Protein backbone atom coordinates (compact mmCIF):
# COMPACT_ATOMS: atom_id res chain seq x y z
CA UNK A 1 0.00 0.00 0.00
CA UNK A 2 3.01 2.34 0.09
CA UNK A 3 2.23 3.49 -3.44
CA UNK A 4 -1.28 4.64 -2.53
CA UNK A 5 -1.80 8.28 -1.60
CA UNK A 6 -3.69 9.60 1.39
CA UNK A 7 -3.51 6.44 3.53
CA UNK A 8 -5.55 6.79 6.72
CA UNK A 9 -5.37 4.67 9.85
CA UNK A 10 -8.69 3.08 10.62
CA UNK A 11 -10.64 4.70 13.44
CA UNK A 12 -10.83 1.87 15.97
CA UNK A 13 -14.08 3.21 17.45
CA UNK A 14 -15.86 3.37 14.12
CA UNK A 15 -14.30 0.57 12.11
CA UNK A 16 -14.41 0.36 8.34
CA UNK A 17 -17.14 2.06 6.29
CA UNK A 18 -18.87 -0.63 4.22
CA UNK A 19 -22.37 -2.08 3.97
CA UNK A 20 -23.29 -5.74 3.68
CA UNK A 21 -24.00 -6.50 0.03
CA UNK A 22 -21.49 -3.97 -1.30
CA UNK A 23 -19.75 -4.98 -4.52
CA UNK A 24 -15.99 -5.08 -4.03
CA UNK A 25 -13.18 -5.30 -6.57
CA UNK A 26 -10.27 -7.61 -5.78
CA UNK A 27 -6.82 -7.07 -7.26
CA UNK A 28 -4.97 -10.27 -6.39
CA UNK A 29 -1.20 -10.60 -6.47
CA UNK A 30 -0.19 -12.63 -9.49
CA UNK A 31 -3.41 -11.86 -11.42
CA UNK A 32 -3.37 -9.19 -14.14
CA UNK A 33 -7.10 -8.40 -13.95
CA UNK A 34 -9.52 -7.55 -11.15
CA UNK A 35 -12.46 -9.71 -10.10
CA UNK A 36 -15.65 -8.78 -8.28
CA UNK A 37 -17.12 -10.18 -5.07
CA UNK A 38 -19.82 -9.22 -2.58
CA UNK A 39 -19.03 -8.17 1.00
CA UNK A 40 -20.79 -10.52 3.44
CA UNK A 41 -19.66 -9.49 6.91
CA UNK A 42 -16.80 -8.98 9.38
CA UNK A 43 -15.52 -9.37 12.89
CA UNK A 44 -13.95 -6.03 13.72
CA UNK A 45 -10.18 -6.06 13.99
CA UNK A 46 -10.15 -9.78 13.11
CA UNK A 47 -11.35 -10.63 9.59
CA UNK A 48 -13.74 -9.81 6.75
CA UNK A 49 -15.77 -12.18 4.56
CA UNK A 50 -16.44 -11.75 0.83
CA UNK A 51 -18.06 -14.19 -1.56
CA UNK A 52 -15.99 -16.25 -3.95
CA UNK A 53 -15.36 -13.91 -6.88
CA UNK A 54 -16.75 -14.15 -10.35
CA UNK A 55 -14.25 -15.94 -12.60
CA UNK A 56 -13.24 -17.92 -9.51
CA UNK A 57 -11.76 -20.76 -11.56
CA UNK A 58 -9.43 -18.28 -13.28
CA UNK A 59 -7.96 -17.05 -9.96
CA UNK A 60 -8.42 -20.10 -7.73
CA UNK A 61 -4.71 -20.98 -7.73
CA UNK A 62 -3.86 -17.47 -6.43
CA UNK A 63 -6.31 -17.56 -3.52
CA UNK A 64 -4.02 -19.33 -1.09
CA UNK A 65 -3.50 -18.27 2.55
CA UNK A 66 -1.07 -15.38 2.79
CA UNK A 67 -1.38 -14.14 -0.78
CA UNK A 68 -1.97 -10.40 -0.85
CA UNK A 69 -4.68 -8.42 -2.58
CA UNK A 70 -6.04 -4.87 -2.77
CA UNK A 71 -9.76 -4.46 -2.13
CA UNK A 72 -11.61 -1.47 -3.61
CA UNK A 73 -15.22 -0.43 -3.23
CA UNK A 74 -17.59 2.53 -3.49
CA UNK A 75 -19.28 3.82 -0.33
CA UNK A 76 -21.35 6.99 0.02
CA UNK A 77 -19.82 8.59 -3.08
CA UNK A 78 -16.21 7.89 -2.09
CA UNK A 79 -13.77 5.21 -3.17
CA UNK A 80 -12.11 3.14 -0.45
CA UNK A 81 -9.12 0.81 -0.91
CA UNK A 82 -7.03 -1.29 1.42
CA UNK A 83 -4.42 -3.99 1.26
CA UNK A 84 -5.14 -7.35 2.85
CA UNK A 85 -4.30 -11.03 2.42
CA UNK A 86 -6.18 -14.30 2.13
CA UNK A 87 -6.79 -16.12 5.41
CA UNK A 88 -8.93 -19.06 4.28
CA UNK A 89 -11.25 -20.29 1.56
CA UNK A 90 -14.64 -21.24 3.01
CA UNK A 91 -16.73 -23.89 1.26
CA UNK A 92 -19.45 -24.57 3.85
CA UNK A 93 -22.01 -23.39 4.82
CA UNK A 94 -21.23 -20.66 2.26
CA UNK A 95 -18.63 -20.32 -0.48
CA UNK A 96 -16.54 -17.33 0.53
CA UNK A 97 -13.08 -15.97 1.33
CA UNK A 98 -11.92 -14.86 4.75
CA UNK A 99 -9.45 -11.97 4.45
CA UNK A 100 -7.47 -10.09 7.05
CA UNK A 101 -9.10 -7.03 8.61
CA UNK A 102 -7.22 -3.99 7.26
CA UNK A 103 -4.94 -1.88 9.41
CA UNK A 104 -4.99 1.11 7.05
CA UNK A 105 -7.43 2.28 4.42
CA UNK A 106 -7.39 4.88 1.67
CA UNK A 107 -10.36 7.12 1.03
CA UNK A 108 -10.66 9.16 -2.11
CA UNK A 109 -13.49 11.25 -3.46
CA UNK A 110 -14.58 9.86 -6.81
CA UNK A 111 -13.43 12.31 -9.46
CA UNK A 112 -16.89 12.93 -10.85
CA UNK A 113 -15.78 15.80 -13.09
CA UNK A 114 -12.77 13.99 -14.51
CA UNK A 115 -12.95 13.31 -18.24
CA UNK A 116 -13.27 9.57 -18.77
CA UNK A 117 -12.60 8.35 -22.30
CA UNK A 118 -15.19 5.65 -23.00
CA UNK A 119 -17.29 4.12 -25.74
CA UNK A 120 -20.90 3.75 -24.61
CA UNK A 121 -23.68 2.92 -27.11
CA UNK A 122 -26.40 5.53 -26.67
CA UNK A 123 -29.69 6.78 -27.99
CA UNK A 124 -30.82 10.41 -28.06
CA UNK A 125 -34.39 11.70 -28.01
CA UNK A 126 -34.64 15.32 -29.16
CA UNK A 127 -36.87 17.48 -31.32
CA UNK A 128 -39.59 14.82 -31.55
CA UNK A 129 -37.28 12.19 -32.99
CA UNK A 130 -34.55 9.82 -31.88
CA UNK A 131 -31.21 8.70 -33.23
CA UNK A 132 -28.21 6.56 -32.28
CA UNK A 133 -25.06 8.09 -30.84
CA UNK A 134 -21.85 7.11 -29.07
CA UNK A 135 -20.84 8.65 -25.75
CA UNK A 136 -17.09 9.30 -25.87
CA UNK A 137 -16.52 10.67 -22.37
CA UNK A 138 -18.71 10.96 -19.30
CA UNK A 139 -18.75 12.24 -15.74
CA UNK A 140 -21.38 12.91 -13.10
CA UNK A 141 -21.83 16.39 -14.56
CA UNK A 142 -22.35 15.52 -18.20
CA UNK A 143 -21.04 13.76 -21.27
CA UNK A 144 -19.85 14.21 -24.81
CA UNK A 145 -21.35 12.21 -27.65
CA UNK A 146 -21.08 12.04 -31.43
CA UNK A 147 -23.69 11.19 -34.04
CA UNK A 148 -23.96 11.20 -37.82
CA UNK A 149 -25.83 14.31 -38.85
CA UNK A 150 -28.04 12.80 -41.54
CA UNK A 151 -31.24 12.35 -39.56
CA UNK A 152 -34.32 13.25 -41.58
CA UNK A 153 -37.11 15.50 -40.33
CA UNK A 154 -34.93 17.33 -37.80
CA UNK A 155 -32.40 20.07 -37.73
CA UNK A 156 -28.99 19.62 -36.18
CA UNK A 157 -28.72 19.91 -32.41
CA UNK A 158 -27.79 23.38 -31.22
CA UNK A 159 -26.58 24.88 -27.96
CA UNK A 160 -29.43 25.08 -25.45
CA UNK A 161 -31.41 22.17 -26.92
CA UNK A 162 -32.94 19.82 -24.34
CA UNK A 163 -32.73 16.07 -24.90
CA UNK A 164 -32.94 12.74 -23.18
CA UNK A 165 -29.82 10.57 -23.35
CA UNK A 166 -30.13 6.81 -22.97
CA UNK A 167 -26.92 4.92 -22.15
CA UNK A 168 -26.19 1.21 -22.22
CA UNK A 169 -23.74 0.84 -19.33
CA UNK A 170 -21.60 -2.32 -19.23
CA UNK A 171 -23.12 -4.97 -17.00
CA UNK A 172 -26.55 -3.29 -16.94
CA UNK A 173 -29.29 -5.16 -18.79
CA UNK A 174 -31.39 -2.18 -19.89
CA UNK A 175 -30.47 1.23 -21.25
CA UNK A 176 -31.04 4.06 -18.75
CA UNK A 177 -32.01 7.63 -19.53
CA UNK A 178 -31.42 11.12 -18.15
CA UNK A 179 -32.31 14.62 -19.29
CA UNK A 180 -29.51 16.84 -20.56
CA UNK A 181 -28.90 20.22 -22.18
CA UNK A 182 -26.54 20.79 -25.13
CA UNK A 183 -23.78 23.19 -24.02
CA UNK A 184 -21.51 23.09 -27.06
CA UNK A 185 -21.83 21.65 -30.54
CA UNK A 186 -19.03 21.24 -33.10
CA UNK A 187 -18.91 19.58 -36.48
CA UNK A 188 -16.35 17.00 -37.60
CA UNK A 189 -17.00 16.09 -41.25
CA UNK A 190 -20.47 14.51 -41.32
CA UNK A 191 -20.63 14.10 -37.54
CA UNK A 192 -21.68 16.43 -34.76
CA UNK A 193 -19.89 16.35 -31.44
CA UNK A 194 -22.15 17.48 -28.61
CA UNK A 195 -21.14 18.38 -25.08
CA UNK A 196 -24.17 17.93 -22.84
CA UNK A 197 -24.84 18.79 -19.19
CA UNK A 198 -27.07 16.44 -17.21
CA UNK A 199 -30.22 17.90 -15.68
CA UNK A 200 -31.68 16.56 -12.39
CA UNK A 201 -30.20 13.06 -12.76
CA UNK A 202 -32.54 10.37 -11.35
CA UNK A 203 -31.09 7.70 -9.07
CA UNK A 204 -31.94 5.08 -11.69
CA UNK A 205 -29.28 6.72 -13.89
CA UNK A 206 -26.91 8.10 -11.25
CA UNK A 207 -26.25 4.84 -9.40
CA UNK A 208 -25.19 2.80 -12.47
CA UNK A 209 -23.18 5.81 -13.68
CA UNK A 210 -21.30 6.09 -10.38
CA UNK A 211 -20.52 2.36 -10.36
CA UNK A 212 -19.34 2.62 -13.96
CA UNK A 213 -17.07 5.58 -13.15
CA UNK A 214 -15.74 3.68 -10.15
CA UNK A 215 -14.99 0.61 -12.26
CA UNK A 216 -12.78 2.67 -14.61
CA UNK A 217 -11.22 4.89 -11.93
CA UNK A 218 -7.43 4.91 -11.90
CA UNK A 219 -6.61 4.18 -8.27
CA UNK A 220 -2.87 3.89 -8.66
Vertex 174 angle, CA 122 and 32, to 5°: 80
User: Does residue 148 contact residue 190 with C-beta atoms inside 8 Å?
Assistant: yes
DSSP result, 175-191: -EEEEEEEEEEEEETTE
Determine the longest span between alpha carbons in the chain, in angstroms: 65
pLDDT (tens digit, 9 = 90+) per residue, 103-150?
Answer: 888 877 665 545 557 889 999 999 888 899 999 888 888 999 999 876
Report the pLDDT value the prediction gives residue 220, as an integer from 0 to 100: 46
DSSP class of residue 212?
A: H
pLDDT tens sequence across 156-194: 788 999 999 999 988 788 899 999 999 999 888 778 899
Q: Measure the CA–CA gap between 137 and 120, rounded to whole angstroms.
A: 8
**How confident is the model over 28-48, as a mean pLDDT?**
92
Extended beta strands in 30-116, E state: 35-43, 47-51, 68-75, 78-90, 96-100, 104-109
Q: What are phi and psi of 165, to 5 degrees?
A: -105, 125
pLDDT over threshold 70, residue 5: no
pLDDT score for 140: 83
The pLDDT value recorded for residue 11 is: 45
Helix (H, G, I), strand (E, B) or coil at 215: helix
pLDDT per residue as tens digits for the range 41-58: 999 889 999 999 988 989
Mean pLDDT of the chain: 83
Alpha carbon distance 166, 140 (integer Å): 15
The CB density around residue 72, as the number of other CB atoms within 10 Å, is 20
In 91-212, the DSSP E strands lie at 96-100, 104-109, 117-126, 129-138, 142-148, 162-167, 176-188, 191-199
What pLDDT band is residue 16 in, cutting at 50, 70 and 90? confident
pLDDT cut 70: percent of the chain above it:
85
Long-range (24+ apart) CB contacts under 8 A made by 86-94 are 87/47, 89/52, 89/63, 90/49, 94/40, 94/51
Say if residue 152's pLDDT is above 70.
Answer: no
Amino acid sequence: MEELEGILELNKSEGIYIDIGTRVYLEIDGVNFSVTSIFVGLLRDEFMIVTLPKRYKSVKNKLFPGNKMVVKYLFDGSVFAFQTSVMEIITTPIRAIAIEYPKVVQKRELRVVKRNQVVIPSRIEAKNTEFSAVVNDISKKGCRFTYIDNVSNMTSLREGDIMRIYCQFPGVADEIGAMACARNVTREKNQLVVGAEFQDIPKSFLNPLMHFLFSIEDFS
